[in-house]
Structure 1
């Protein structure tokens, strides 16, 4: 039976919860059949070049300042693999002997300083004139033809060393490039672990308006999607913001 709460929601007891869980093709149900324990591999979780202090005011304007200051630390993929075994896609929660828990938007806001209210982070998958957009917002383009992504190597080669004579507009262009690398390489890494999709760039055209998007919600949604995907025993490469996942567990479940 369900236990009523004052706000009108219900907690489903474990007996009832069992009927909601499908164990077919979940990593937790196939561990004993696997010849070797599966340790996941992580995708990029760092920006490949140093942050120029001249970019900081523009990163703060866009609400990416706190995230850019987070130091990368060693990720324990054996630990993360164990967490995935307790993740249930049916409920989007970790199941443990003492109950259920999950990362929330409050955790994202506290740890990353990203906005969790506002417009949905979305965009078109194909931009009609990508080179024109890049020249307008970055001052250069990786190609004159059609393309949908930036390589991290291209961002590093073109924006790692900002000239001492750079004017305000050039510093702002470099800040956009840094945020693009931060999005694709750290916050929302996916199957393209060497690239970031172009669809995020239009959201950075006006950095003052960039803060009006719910970037924290997008980061959490991507991490949830990756956790669900990794419950497949055949999956090996996990994306999403794994630093958030590991630090959340160490903070919320220190035991």
Structure 2
């Protein structure tokens, strides 16, 4: 902004005869110092994680697959299909790693419905369906992580927001889902929202679960809501049920046993406010990560 303060009053003279005489040093460029280099000028930029993950992407890796030009051999090095077809490795079918939901109580339905999760809750309340391990493995073998699509004989197949909305019944419009990443005092927050405090780690052992609780702890404390429970106790059990649904199914931990508390502050809001977030978009982005 300071450079443009006197911009309107500056009028350079284009007539060289009006310029003052210069008696200083004369500089003559040395053409021999020019770099004889062709191509596009390189620019300095900040490096990020993508640059580190693409190390080794040389001339032998940049060429397209000889039989399938759309696929890059760089992404095939660790792919299951490459290991089985090209290297001849015998790999067993994949198996889904998950856990059973908490026992459903119909008293949870009004709360879960106000939060917008009742369609999905109806799908998982009786347990997850049987999975075809062979079909699951075939889809994984044809998944292309660089473009987030399945490469099938009939063409490319991609999971869209419409699929998430139609299959899971989650909202795809609303506020972005941003979880809390500060671990300080997370046990106090859990106790405030669900009424039960996670156990403290012993002095000898390190806190191996600083970002969540185990599914076994949730099952131990919130398996069945008491029949004579008052309304606020029922709501706490409903939040614990919803917590496991979100942290254990929509955003699972890689270990398959830890339920993260990062989304619990959002689930601890008023039930109507929980439904204002775009849970469908967050779910799709989580699986694309």
Establish whether TM, by shorter chain, passes 0.5: yes
Q: Is the 8 A contact 1:149 1:195 kept in 2?
A: yes
Matched, 1:187 2:250: yes
Matched, 1:205 2:268: yes
Quote the Cα distance in structure 1 between the aligned partners of 2:75 and 2:248.
33
Quote the Cα distance in structure 1 between the aligned partners of 2:72 and 2:245.
40
Matched, 1:218 2:268: no
Number of aligned residue pairs: 211
> Alignment RMSD, CA only?
2.3
Classify 1:45/1:155 alpha carbon distance in 2 versus 1 (closer, same or farther; 3 Å). Answer: closer
Query: What secondary structure, in the 3-state scheme, does the structure 1 residue paired with 2:150 have?
Result: strand
Classify 1:82/1:224 alpha carbon distance in 2 versus 1 (closer, same or farther; 3 Å). Answer: same
Query: What secondary structure, in the 3-state scheme, does the structure 1 residue paired with 2:218 have?
Result: helix
Classify 1:141/1:112 alpha carbon distance in 2 versus 1 (closer, same or farther; 3 Å). Answer: same
Greater Cα radius of gyration, structure 1 or 2: 2
User: Structure 2: which 5+ residue stretches go unaligned?
Assistant: 1-66, 202-208
Match of 2:165 in 1: 109
Query: What secondary structure, in the 3-state scheme, does the structure 1 residue paired with 2:262 have?
Result: helix
- Where is the helix percentage greater, Structure 1 or Structure 2? 1
Q: Is the 8 A contact 1:46 1:185 kept in 2?
A: no
Classify 1:190/1:127 alpha carbon distance in 2 versus 1 (closer, same or farther; 3 Å). Answer: closer
Query: What secondary structure, in the 3-state scheme, does the structure 2 residue paired with 1:128 have?
Result: coil
Quote the Cα distance in structure 1 between the aligned partners of 2:217 and 2:105.
17
Q: Is the 8 A contact 2:222 2:240 kept in 1?
A: yes
Quote the offset at 1:18 in angstroms: 4.4
Match of 1:120 in 2: 176
Q: What's the CA shift string for 1:116-173, capped at 9, x where partnerless?
A: 1122222222332223212221111113579421111111121122112212211111
Question: 2:105 pairs with 52, 56, 60, which one?
Answer: 52
Match of 1:39 in 2: 93
Quote the Cα distance in structure 2 between the aligned partners of 1:15 and 1:39.
24
Q: Is the 8 A contact 1:46 1:182 kept in 2?
A: no
User: Structure 1: which 5+ residue stretches go unaligned?
Assistant: 1-13, 226-255
User: What is the TM-score of this pair, normalised by structure 2?
Assistant: 0.67
Match of 1:143 in 2: 199
- Where is the strand percentage greater, Structure 1 or Structure 2? 1
Query: What secondary structure, in the 3-state scheme, does the structure 1 residue paired with 2:70 have?
Result: helix
Match of 1:253 in 2: none
Query: What secondary structure, in the 3-state scheme, does the structure 1 residue paired with 2:171 have?
Result: coil
Classify 1:24/1:131 alpha carbon distance in 2 versus 1 (closer, same or farther; 3 Å). Answer: closer
User: What is the TM-score of this pair, normalised by structure 1?
Assistant: 0.75
Query: What secondary structure, in the 3-state scheme, does the structure 2 residue paired with 1:172 have?
Result: helix
Tell me: higher relative CO, structure 1 or 2? Use CA pairs within 8 A at least 6 residues apart: 1
